Structure 1
């Protein structure tokens, strides 16, 4: 049953820049078969099994749009110029945003719940300690905001293991989750509000169109809305069935028909030029094909060196995949402007985890190196100063508490993160995580133990400390060793520091709640030499 219309909202005139962006974006997507959103006043039909959007008296609380990528490195923001312009130049950029658990499912569960992995139950990508089967979907940011009077929408990649059998997750007004096939980029199956869709098109373009349609529909109602657009790019494409770690024989991400055509016509498209430049920079890093890995855990010591040609090939594909994501975000921003919602909407761009491209001989994620832990985080919205940057450490676990703060909403969960809203608005420069951030990795193999931890540790503004399941310890002084080439775990001059970071890890690894998980420990014993 279609929801009834609420009173129409007043729409402002659209600035010329928005019109130009709409034209540019439409041209960039010309090769894909996309339909226009329904005209204003004609919201899209919702299936009988969908939860009809709430009709409420005018509610001026801000809308929230969360826009995520998958496996994106921080330095790959060069492939998203529209995102940098529309969010970075019009809002706040975090230069020290961290994903505490750099793997797909644990990271997404942290975003959903505002809880670290020891509290949300998702430690890796597959059962028994991970994946969708380990996730409690009865209490999430979706249920919280729905209970607070928000219309909610989720579309895109859910946790690994989600299937059509699970149907709609609680708390979502509109729910369009991918059952399987997204790793192919072209042959995927969607659960779209009770209807099964087998989609032959390009995954990013499909999500882009659905996001525009959902935003337009939700803008027709007086209730504020929360929408999470969960993209798969630039994750590697289709590997072995049921495999999603660095041991998979995955291929590079696939590009859209539009960018494939652009590459053929232009010879060297802009994203290809950028990819070549970035691949050169990656392969010239001292950490690429690191020669001496004797100070690193055996997972790294077992890896072979990679060719520069491999990095070039993969980076070009990743750049093209991210260019499509960039177009998708621009289309969504234009739609919010057309619907008169942009000025009252927080838009957050973040990724679940980073990705190594041969640094320390590793292709993939999970390991506690900067390429995996650091994530882009950009936000624009009411009260956020334009063109601002902050080096305050923030994490993706902080997003759910922030969204609840924006919505003046409550939850029955004990949240481990803290609200970023005062930092977004420039109201405070106090550090959000003064004692460091707990970092941890889930198991690749059963021998990592019944609790499913590969490693656990702490990342501070200067140091990275981890202890693996087998007792192996790595400690890096990133101020002196930014490429993490030399572990100082056995350096006597760092012994007091190692002991203190080990103590912090022991205290944080079972923490629960914002005070417990974001302690102020006091000064660190820095090395004297």
Structure 2
């Protein structure tokens, strides 16, 4: 795979080559707003500043920066050498992290609320049961932190449906989300009708992130910063252009050119699932040449994110805040590239469920790894635990802060997983489970789900079938397994708070044939 030498990674970790690896900025973009383009600066007038009175206690709680990519596979982190050196090698990698609702809007709302879709109300990207209009903006991680002594900043892609005339979300001291079309890399807007044309969106997110870090650090209060990148999501062209592969900057045109997309070597590539898949999972043929081209475009678009991470760490180090900051890198969901003839997301298979997750910061052993099956919902509980911030709603995740600190901790044995669908009022009014598609559970061994409206079921035994090529849900040896996993799913589909983190015990073994 494309990589840098480990000796270079060691120098990066020491902070000696961060600036050198940050590529030079391109020509200034055309800004079509009323004023000529100027480099982004943050108005710090809305930031909480330290109390300078004699005897006032200094707030030494740690900062948190969450870097979020869009549609990134877990295995694509191998193509980001700077991020590996600056976060993964300095901290802990979670090798079995998942997005339990693997679609953009539901996953992002989970990160803002710490709740599953049955509690936060967001089941899909759009329609009656999806999109920004479903988010209760007055009670999110931004308001929790801002209300408890932190400055909070948000930069980049927001929840689907956040439009050019949408209001500012409460709580965030610095508010720099993309508005309107969130995935056009060249023609885009930020809040306040700040418009760009002929630019590259990753560069502007990088610039705004670093500007926010400087302002937040100068305020001398702990801070929370979400920086949400668009890559490697497909580009949704403005107008009728439709979706195309993610564009990348010219300097990365040769990256990974001699390497093959990992999915092309998978035993499941373009293979049919024996026993079939639920109808909402729509398999199709995906030619190798098309998949290879898409994978290269994705990897190359991530190089700009990789450079932005290095630039961000450089800005944080210059501010003197690096040692007191937790750096989190993850994605909203994974992505299928032809495995089982599936592509994209919103499917309950490993490539779509699994996401990269690496965390560095105070008390985390460099180069450590954990197999704990954590989720994005758990990440919210962990961030609030590390910072002593109390959510003002009931969150559904469990904190894995003890694991980050090197301690052993108990963990649930079953995790809720689910997908939604675009509700159509003309055809779906009589459905009992509106807005829901597949809902089920994932354990150490099994992935199980049922379509809530059609009753179609799916069961993969990942121990015997790691490539998920056999749907064994209707076979006699697995009857007891299905019954037990459906029982657990029934308990978790309406769970809230601690009830989402139960330990059920051992799943019955499949009977011998």
**TM-score when normalising by structure 2:** 0.89
| Corresponding residue SS for 2:152 | strand
Instruction: Give how far 1:292 is off.
Output: 4.7
- C-alpha offsets along residues 240-292 of structure 1, whole Å, 9 cap, x if unaligned? 879xxxxx952111112xxx1453xxxxx23433xx32x1x312322111135
Matched, 1:522 2:512: no
Equivalent of 2:322, from 339, 342, 348? Answer: 342
| Partners of 2:488 and 2:357 in 1: CA distance | 26
CA contact (8 A) 2:231 2:302 kept: yes
**Residues 489 and 240 from structure 1, CA distance in 2 versus in 1: closer, same or farther, beyond 3 angstroms?**
farther
| Partners of 1:316 and 1:155 in 2: CA distance | 26
CA contact (8 A) 2:252 2:300 kept: no
Matched, 1:284 2:282: no
Matched, 1:203 2:223: no
**Residues 56 and 419 from structure 1, CA distance in 2 versus in 1: closer, same or farther, beyond 3 angstroms?**
farther
Instruction: Give how far 1:297 is off.
Output: 1.5
Matched, 1:53 2:31: no
| Partners of 2:436 and 2:83 in 1: CA distance | 35
| Partners of 1:174 and 1:221 in 2: CA distance | 12
CA contact (8 A) 1:69 1:352 kept: yes
| Corresponding residue SS for 1:397 | helix
- C-alpha offsets along residues 15-68 of structure 1, whole Å, 9 cap, x if unaligned? 99424221121xx2443549xxxxxxxx94518xx7333443531100000000
Could you say which residue in structure 2 is the equivalent of 1:486? Answer: 470
**Residues 29 and 528 from structure 1, CA distance in 2 versus in 1: closer, same or farther, beyond 3 angstroms?**
farther
**Residues 338 and 411 from structure 1, CA distance in 2 versus in 1: closer, same or farther, beyond 3 angstroms?**
same
Could you say which residue in structure 1 is the equivalent of 2:418? Answer: 440
Matched, 1:471 2:452: no
| Corresponding residue SS for 2:372 | coil
- C-alpha offsets along residues 481-515 of structure 1, whole Å, 9 cap, x if unaligned? 111000110121111111000000000000011x2
Could you say which residue in structure 2 is the equivalent of 1:212? Answer: 210
List structure 1 runs of 4+ shifted beyond 6 angstroms. none
Instruction: Give how far 1:344 is off.
Output: 0.4
| Partners of 1:52 and 1:150 in 2: CA distance | 9
Gaps of 5+ in 1: 1-13, 35-42, 243-247, 264-268
CA contact (8 A) 1:142 1:170 kept: yes
**Residues 485 and 348 from structure 1, CA distance in 2 versus in 1: closer, same or farther, beyond 3 angstroms?**
same
Could you say which residue in structure 1 is the equivalent of 2:359? Answer: 379
Could you say which residue in structure 2 is the equivalent of 1:73? Answer: 73
Could you say which residue in structure 1 is the equivalent of 2:106? Answer: 106
Equivalent of 1:428, from 390, 408, 419? Answer: 408
**Residues 32 and 103 from structure 1, CA distance in 2 versus in 1: closer, same or farther, beyond 3 angstroms?**
farther
Could you say which residue in structure 1 is the equivalent of 2:93? Answer: 93
| Corresponding residue SS for 1:93 | strand
Matched, 1:313 2:293: yes
**1:154-173 equivalence runs, <5 A:** 154-173=154-173
CA contact (8 A) 1:306 1:361 kept: yes
**1:78-477 equivalence runs, <5 A:** 78-191=78-191, 195-200=192-197, 201-238=199-236, 250-256=243-249, 260-263=250-253, 269-273=254-258, 276-277=259-260, 279=261, 281-292=262-273, 294-300=275-281, 302-431=282-411, 433-434=412-413, 436-446=414-424, 449=431, 451-468=434-451, 469-477=453-461
| Partners of 2:328 and 2:392 in 1: CA distance | 24
- C-alpha offsets along residues 346-368 of structure 1, whole Å, 9 cap, x if unaligned? 00011000011111212110010
| Partners of 2:367 and 2:177 in 1: CA distance | 34
CA contact (8 A) 1:182 1:232 kept: yes
| Partners of 1:32 and 1:424 in 2: CA distance | 41
Gaps of 5+ in 2: 1-10, 30-39, 53-57
| Partners of 1:408 and 1:294 in 2: CA distance | 48
Stretch deviating more after TM superposition (195-204 or 63-72): 195-204
Could you say which residue in structure 2 is the equivalent of 1:24? Answer: 21
| Partners of 2:49 and 2:218 in 1: CA distance | 11
CA contact (8 A) 1:444 1:454 kept: no
Instruction: Give how far 1:294 is off.
Output: 4.6
CA contact (8 A) 1:56 1:222 kept: no
| Corresponding residue SS for 1:106 | helix
Matched, 1:508 2:492: yes
**Residues 341 and 411 from structure 1, CA distance in 2 versus in 1: closer, same or farther, beyond 3 angstroms?**
same
